[in-house]
Structure 1
């Protein structure tokens, strides 16, 4: 399975993802290919919509203190639903679909989610810190939203200008 990461301003990133109802070999292949793509791209999270699959699937692999991403830390989260959220925190986020741009974004400090694994088993997870941030970031993708949409109007306008300039420089 050959995947490509969609980048801003690709309209396909705005699609609303649908729930997975069949936990079959196709889903397993997609999850495996997404993991490979995420690691190759030096990402810590990837939503299926970012590789043009509008399904409620995200994967995460939070690096350890040495910056290593161990295969046993891979999380495959299907059909996630936030059932509890608490506190607020600000974290500098980046995104594989908005390469080279980082911005401080306010999110919930802790979240509890219900989700399904690759076999359709229902699970629950309490997350805080970077894991909580990453879950919320990827879940935004599933709803067709990018982290830059959380910026103030002035900051968003500045981003648009900086991003267009960066694209122009890359082409030159």
Structure 2
């Protein structure tokens, strides 16, 4: 399947909440395959359907090359009080990153591509990715979690990169 064009910040569609997937069919599988190809071409480690302008709750993660994980309708079921800081960025805003604080451990409920309910406990980078991508599905762009000052500076850096 082909890599698809990625929406770039500040495209307003990146701030729209995605709707739950209700049809678990060949079209959903094809979309997931397109997301795999797109995140690899970006390159990145995570992507949501909204990153390519499709407002469905679908996430693809590939933290280790060749180990693709697909999450349909993911929700955070449990989160730890313990937090960790990690540098984050987005394939929709290439070239800029900043450090965010997230829950260190999460439990995610989701469906697989066949529609079967699943759950997963995650910590470290996987926990961060789940929170980052579920935020995106909810219409929360990662920079919204920065202070106003940091966000403004990051946007200025990003705009300078785009011009230069």
Bucket of the pairwise TM-score, normalised by the shorter protein: over 0.9
Question: Does structure 1 residue 153 correspond to structure 2 residue 135?
Answer: no
Partner of 1:22: 23
Shift of 1:160: 2.1
Task: Report matched runs for 1:8-157 at 5 Å.
Answer: 8-63=9-64, 69-70=65-66, 73-86=67-80, 87-157=82-152
Secondary structure of 1:81's counterpart equals: strand
Q: Detail structure 1 runs of 4+ shifted over 6 Å in the superposition.
A: none
- Structure 1 distance, partners of 2:15, 2:127, is 22
Q: Which moved more, 1:8-17 or 1:157-166?
A: 157-166
- Structure 2 distance, partners of 1:157, 1:41, is 24
What RMSD, in angstroms, separates the aligned Cα atoms of the two structures? Answer: 1.0
Unmatched runs of 5 consecutive residues or more in structure 1: 64-68
Q: Any conservation in 1 of the 2:96–2:157 contact (CA below 8 Å)?
A: no
Shift of 1:82: 0.8
TM-score (norm 2): 0.95
- Structure 2 distance, partners of 1:18, 1:105, is 26
Secondary structure of 1:99's counterpart equals: coil
Shift of 1:52: 0.6
Shift of 1:116: 0.2
Shift of 1:143: 0.7
Secondary structure of 1:30's counterpart equals: helix
Report how many residues are paired: 162
Shift of 1:40: 1.4
Unmatched runs of 5 consecutive residues or more in structure 2: none
TM-score (norm 1): 0.91
